[in-house]
């Protein structure tokens, strides 16, 4: 039996919170991971490149070449240091994101209602939960208000359960209606969810298509490296008879083949991209989501608060008694005030919904004396039905009144009006909806006795009238829609509102196909195959409910679309979860929606989604540039090591691990930091979305990178062979060949900044990190050429400036020929 701390109406004190936390622990399902630096070091120490360097160090020690062994040891630390830095930098970015996306709860403490992270809740806390929030801990209901909970996560039953005072509730369940204060009885691993689901934390996150592609590519290259290592070791051993020296050169080739920069670059791009998005007001739950943003082909957007402004206002009333419309604000006849009064009494006592807040404000302005009269709740019926309505029984003065409001169809069905009168009401509803208003029906009833019926529909209802609320489009809504369309995406409005209202707003924001419409009931009536045919051509989905929203998302996915879905309510949860990219609103979004979504728009501005898609495209585009760079530069390294040996050149073994590690030290940061920092290319948001299944190395693109690499290899091997044939000594040939390779790397970095624009255009594109890396690489090269100690370490010799000029010319030719290819492509495209 848990002994709860004594809780006063003011909540726990700071001392009581600390005592409870010491007794019962923190509100987390599992202990916080202690990975940090040690886990990162362990991961780096098991990387293939680290192990190859370690093996090469051991070989140098066995050969008695201590200087080379020390150099590789320092390089080993440098490579590990760069990897650790990048990993910790990514971890810090992800940690900041986790902090931003951490659920929070409202609690009473020290006499005030404050907001704290969910993990800081303790046993005994008084916690407020509202419709759309996920319950943060086990507890007991103390002050319910029309409160019901979805406990499907624990019971499997999807029917909401109404909760009264003193009834238990459980962590992980969701509030689907009303609000309540709870007293926390268990936290963290002691909750019911924690006891039955501690293993959930151990479930591995499924890898994205791009992650799988990167893993497969690196694995294949690793096997190629193993084969090449065995071949070079065998050939060297056959020539020299020294297995240790042969092992050294085999390791050199294996190091040159392994593209270990790619997985590091992938992690950096995703983590840093997610951090960059967070600074732009878009939070990603998983950094891997970043890669799929550029693939979105369909945006399914809510209307209220997403395309329309957040606040609402009552603009007109339909007075059923007088059968006429009355503008608001303005002098209202008594019968119109009655419509507004019952609409207010059918709302929550402390409304949190924008629509109910607008009704309360209009009532207070129109009838301040009546609005000041206490109207305590006697009984309540939660929002229910399809389409829904809600009912409150209140005590106003000496009278017990029953007030109901909700969808006009539901109100008309329970009021049983004469057919002609019902048709008139429907006509007014269509007229108001066609002007973009949101329309609610209002009704009243009188209890027949002290007992109330089990269902709200069973009262004897009297129709009072309609409330028309204005929710105009946001100022930027039309521009946002146009941005999506320009980017090659379809836009669909999915809303619970009337068809006429939805279509009116769709026309105001310039949504193409605003006249095409399906209602929620029509969606449910259509067979799956028929819906898959109709959904792509339908722009407006109205009177939608959770099952219908989910069915539309599934139909679009079945058609091969990559679906992004925006939403903010409990009823959006299933569709947000099912979409490829679920997008929740940060300020007005419910906790259920935020938990189901993969992205959160902090400012509830759909323009943030345009930003997110643009960033997603930029990140994917730059990642491909980095991969092409890695593939292209590895080819000349591999061929420079392998060709002379296999062709029987006089100087067969030119490079050693020291030279390869130099290149790795400059290639790694260039790949994962400099290219990540590249700005977006012009016109990327005018391109169609890329298919989600597209490989990051398509045949044409891979072919281009291979040709680039072969071109650089030809230049490097040309310098190698030319100076060797002229009788230059081995140290001089090594120096000139290495200089050509490093200068080619500089040229490759510059030409790979864009595969459409010329290098002269990209020179003006700002990227300070890239220029820093290029400058650092050039300085390191000059140090190896000019500093005697570095010359000895690398086995270099002084060379004439004219010879270095030949190296620069060869590098320019080997890396720069792609500019002619780009110019040819631009010319061909211009002719089309």
What does the pLDDT average to over 726-740?
A: 93
Share of the chain above pLDDT 90, in %: 25
Model pLDDT, residue 70? 67
Q: Which sign does the torsion angle of CA 766, 772, 777, 781 carry?
A: positive
Residues 6+ away with beta carbon under 8 Å from 733: 651, 654, 720, 723, 724
**pTM: predicted TM-score of the whole model, two decimal places:** 0.69
Is the per-residue pLDDT at 806 higher than 90? yes
Two tokens, residue 40:
């990162």
Query: 456-500: per-residue pLDDT in tens?
Result: 999 999 999 999 998 888 888 899 999 999 989 999 999 888 888
Cα torsion through 68, 70, 73, 75, rounded to 10: -60
Is the per-residue pLDDT at 238 higher than 50? yes
Bigger pLDDT: 212 or 33? 212
Model pLDDT, residue 53? 57
- How far apart (Å, rounded) are the C-alpha atoms in residues 140 and 4? 11
- How far apart (Å, rounded) are the C-alpha atoms in residues 241 and 771? 46
What does the pLDDT average to over 141-158?
A: 72
Model pLDDT, residue 775? 92
Q: Which sign does the torsion angle of CA 610, 614, 617, 620 carry?
A: negative
Of the listed ranges 130-144, 202-216, 637-651, 776-790, the least confidently predicted one is 202-216
- How far apart (Å, rounded) are the C-alpha atoms in residues 409 and 519? 14
Model pLDDT, residue 30? 56
> Shortest CA distance to 173 belongs to which of 158, 188, 189?
158
Model pLDDT, residue 210? 65
7 — pLDDT class (breaks 50, 70, 90): very low
Of 79-88, 257-266, 315-324, 610-619, the range with the highest mean pLDDT is: 315-324
Is the per-residue pLDDT at 166 higher than 50? yes
3-state secondary structure of 417: coil
449 — pLDDT class (breaks 50, 70, 90): confident
Model pLDDT, residue 573? 74
Contact 644, 718 (CB under 8 A): no
At residue 738's C-alpha, the angle toward residues 735 and 744, to 5°, is: 135
Is the per-residue pLDDT at 525 higher than 80? yes
Is residue 666 within a helix (H) or strand (E), and if so which, with residue range?
A: helix 657-669
Cβ burial of 208 (10 Å; 0-12, 13-18, 19+) is: middle
Q: Residue 700, Cβ neighbours under 10 Å: how many?
A: 8
Query: 737-776: per-residue pLDDT in tens?
Result: 999 999 999 999 999 988 888 888 888 888 998 999 899 9
What does the pLDDT average to over 685-691?
A: 80
3-state secondary structure of 817: coil
114 — pLDDT class (breaks 50, 70, 90): confident
Bigger pLDDT: 615 or 288? 615
At residue 350's C-alpha, the angle toward residues 584 and 359, to 5°, is: 85
Structure letter (DSSP) for residue 570: G
Is the per-residue pLDDT at 317 higher than 70? yes
> Shortest CA distance to 128 belongs to which of 11, 290, 261?
11
3-state secondary structure of 693: coil
3-state secondary structure of 355: helix
What does the pLDDT average to over 152-160?
A: 59
What does the pLDDT average to over 568-578?
A: 76
Is the per-residue pLDDT at 208 higher than 70? no
Is the per-residue pLDDT at 630 higher than 80? yes
Two tokens, residue 799:
């060379």
3-state secondary structure of 342: helix
Model pLDDT, residue 527? 93
Model pLDDT, residue 4? 45
Residues 6+ away with beta carbon under 8 Å from 824: none
3-state secondary structure of 690: coil
At residue 322's C-alpha, the angle toward residues 377 and 409, to 5°, is: 60
Model pLDDT, residue 2? 44
Two tokens, residue 85:
């830095």
- How far apart (Å, rounded) are the C-alpha atoms in residues 90 and 81? 14
Model pLDDT, residue 612? 84
Q: Which sign does the torsion angle of CA 456, 457, 460, 463 carry?
A: positive
> Shortest CA distance to 697 belongs to which of 68, 213, 94?
213
Bigger pLDDT: 55 or 194? 194
List, as one string, the DSSP characters of 12-60. B-HHHHHHHHHHH--S-SSPPP--HHHHHHHHHHTSHHHHHHHHHHHHH
- How far apart (Å, rounded) are the C-alpha atoms in residues 146 and 173? 16
Bigger pLDDT: 607 or 287? 607
Query: 41-67: per-residue pLDDT in tens?
Result: 666 666 655 665 566 566 556 656 666
What does the pLDDT average to over 545-551?
A: 87
- How far apart (Å, rounded) are the C-alpha atoms in residues 177 and 132? 7
Model pLDDT, residue 203? 36
Q: How many CA atoms lie within 13 A of 40 on its CB side?
A: 16
Q: Can you give 80-101 as a three-state secondary structure string? A: HHHHHHHHHHHHHHHHHHHHHC
What does the pLDDT average to over 202-217?
A: 58
Q: E strands along 45-173, which residues?
A: 104-109, 112-117, 126-130, 138-150, 161-162, 168-169
What does the pLDDT average to over 203-216?
A: 58
5 — pLDDT class (breaks 50, 70, 90): very low
- How far apart (Å, rounded) are the C-alpha atoms in residues 736 and 757? 31
What residues form DSSP beta bridges with 319? 324, 465
Model pLDDT, residue 97? 46
Alpha helices (H) along 389-539? 408-415, 419-434, 477-486, 499-508, 520-525, 528-534
What does the pLDDT average to over 708-729?
A: 92
Find the length of the chain: 832
669 — pLDDT class (breaks 50, 70, 90): confident
345 — pLDDT class (breaks 50, 70, 90): very high
What does the pLDDT average to over 625-647?
A: 83
Residues 6+ away with beta carbon under 8 Å from 636: 709, 712, 713, 715, 716, 717, 741, 744, 814
810 — pLDDT class (breaks 50, 70, 90): very high
Share of the chain above pLDDT 70, in %: 77
Is the per-residue pLDDT at 284 higher than 80? no
Bigger pLDDT: 682 or 250? 682
Is the per-residue pLDDT at 3 higher than 50? no
Contact 459, 392 (CB under 8 A): no
Two tokens, residue 28:
């987390």
Residues 6+ away with beta carbon under 8 Å from 803: 723, 732, 736
Bigger pLDDT: 322 or 35? 322
- How far apart (Å, rounded) are the C-alpha atoms in residues 559 and 532? 6
> Shortest CA distance to 405 belongs to which of 428, 421, 429, 388?
388
Contact 384, 390 (CB under 8 A): yes
Is the per-residue pLDDT at 149 higher than 50? yes
Two tokens, residue 653:
């073994």
Model pLDDT, residue 424? 93
Residues 6+ away with beta carbon under 8 Å from 415: 443, 461, 462, 463
522 — pLDDT class (breaks 50, 70, 90): very high
Is the per-residue pLDDT at 265 higher than 90? no
């Amino acid at each position: 039996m848990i002994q709860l701390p004594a809780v006063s109406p003011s909540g726990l004190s700071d001392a009581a919170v600390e005592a409870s936390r010491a007794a019962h622990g923190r509100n987390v399902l599992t202990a916080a991971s202690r990975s940090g630096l040690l886990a990162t070091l362990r991961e780096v120490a098991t990387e293939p490149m680290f192990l190859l360097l370690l093996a090469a160090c051991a070989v140098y020690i066995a050969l008695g070449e201590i200087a080379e062994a020390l150099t590789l040891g320092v390089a080993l630390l440098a490579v590990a240091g760069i990897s650790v830095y990048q990993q910790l930098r990514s971890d810090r970015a992800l940690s900041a994101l986790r902090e931003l996306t951490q659920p929070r709860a409202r609690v009473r403490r020290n006499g005030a209602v404050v907001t704290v992270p969910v993990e800081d809740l303790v046993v005994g806390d008084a916690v407020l939960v509202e419709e759309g929030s996920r319950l943060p801990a086990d507890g007991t209901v103390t002050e319910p208000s029309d409160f019901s909970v979805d406990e499907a996560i624990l019971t499997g039953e999807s029917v909401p359960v109404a909760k009264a005072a003193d009834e238990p509730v459980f962590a992980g369940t969701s509030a689907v209606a009303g609000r309540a204060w709870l007293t926390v009885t268990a936290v963290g691993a002691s909750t019911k969810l924690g006891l039955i689901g501690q293993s959930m934390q151990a479930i591995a996150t499924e890898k994205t298509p791009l992650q799988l592609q990167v893993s497969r590519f690196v694995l294949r290259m690793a096997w190629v490296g193993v084969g090449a290592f065995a071949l070079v070791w065998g050939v060297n051993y056959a020539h020299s008879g020294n297995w240790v020296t042969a092992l050294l050169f085999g390791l050199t080739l294996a190091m040159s083949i392994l593209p270990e920069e790619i997985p590091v670059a992938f992690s950096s791009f995703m983590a840093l991209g997610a951090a960059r998005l967070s600074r732009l007001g878009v939070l990603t739950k998983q950094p891997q989501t970043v890669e799929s943003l550029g693939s979105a082909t369909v945006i399914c957007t809510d209307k209220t608060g997403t395309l329309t402004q957040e606040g609402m206002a009552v603009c007109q009333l339909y007075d059923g008694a007088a059968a006429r419309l009355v503008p608001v604000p303005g002098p209202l006849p008594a019968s119109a005030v009655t419509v507004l009064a019952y609409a207010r009494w059918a709302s929550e006592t402390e409304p949190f919904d924008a629509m109910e807040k607008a009704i309360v404000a209009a009532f207070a302005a129109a009838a301040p004396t009546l609005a000041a009269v206490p109207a305590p709740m006697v009984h309540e019926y939660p929002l229910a039905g399809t389409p829904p309505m809600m009912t409150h029984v209140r005590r106003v003065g000496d009278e017990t009144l029953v007030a109901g409001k909700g969808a006009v169809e539901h109100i008309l069905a329970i009021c049983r009006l004469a057919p002609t009168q019902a048709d008139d009401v429907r006509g007014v509803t269509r007229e108001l909806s066609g002007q973009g208003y949101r329309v609610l029906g209002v009704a009243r009833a009188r209890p027949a006795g002290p007992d109330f019926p089990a269902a709200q529909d069973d009262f004897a209802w009297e129709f009072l009238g309609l409330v028309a609320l204005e929710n105009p489009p946001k100022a930027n809504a039309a521009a946002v829609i146009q941005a999506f369309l320009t980017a090659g995406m379809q836009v669909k409005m999915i809303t619970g509102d009337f068809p006429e209202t939805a279509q009116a707003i769709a026309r105001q924001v310039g949504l193409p196909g605003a006249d095409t419409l399906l209602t929620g009931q029509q969606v449910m009536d259509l067979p799956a195959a028929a819906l898959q045919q109709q959904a792509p051509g339908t722009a407006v989905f109205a009177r939608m409910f959770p099952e219908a929203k989910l069915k539309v998302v599934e139909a679009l996915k079945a058609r091969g679309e990559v679906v992004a879905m925006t939403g903010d309510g409990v009823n959006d949860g299933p569709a947000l979860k099912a979409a490829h990219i679920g997008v929740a609103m940060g300020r007005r979004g419910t906790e259920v929606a935020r938990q189901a979504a993969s992205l959160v728009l902090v400012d509830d501005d759909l323009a943030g989604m345009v930003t997110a898609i643009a960033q997603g495209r930029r990140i994917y585009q730059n990642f491909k540039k980095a991969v092409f760079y890695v593939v292209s530069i590895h080819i000349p390294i591999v061929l420079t090591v392998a060709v002379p040996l296999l062709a029987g050149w006089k100087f067969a073994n030119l490079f050693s691990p020291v030279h390869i590690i130099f290149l790795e030290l400059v290639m790694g940061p260039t790949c994962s930091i400099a290219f990540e920092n590249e700005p977006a290319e012009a016109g990327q948001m005018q391109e169609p979305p890329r298919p989600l299944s597209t490989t990051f190395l398509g045949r044409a693109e891979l072919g281009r990178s291979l040709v680039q690499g072969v071109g650089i290899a030809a230049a490097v091997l040309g310098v190698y062979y030319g100076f060797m044939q002229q009788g230059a000594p081995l140290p001089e040939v090594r120096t000139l060949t290495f200089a050509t390779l490093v200068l080619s790397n500089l040229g490759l970095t510059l030409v790979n900044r864009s595969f459409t624009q010329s290098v002269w255009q990209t020179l003006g594109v700002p990227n300070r990190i890239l220029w820093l890396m290029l400058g650092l690489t050039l300085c390191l090269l000059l140090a190896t050429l000019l500093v005697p100690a570095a010359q000895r370490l690398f086995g270099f010799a002084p060379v004439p400036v004219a010879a270095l000029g030949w190296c620069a010319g060869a590098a320019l030719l080997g890396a720069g020929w792609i500019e002619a290819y780009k110019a040819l492509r631009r010319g061909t495209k211009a002719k089309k």
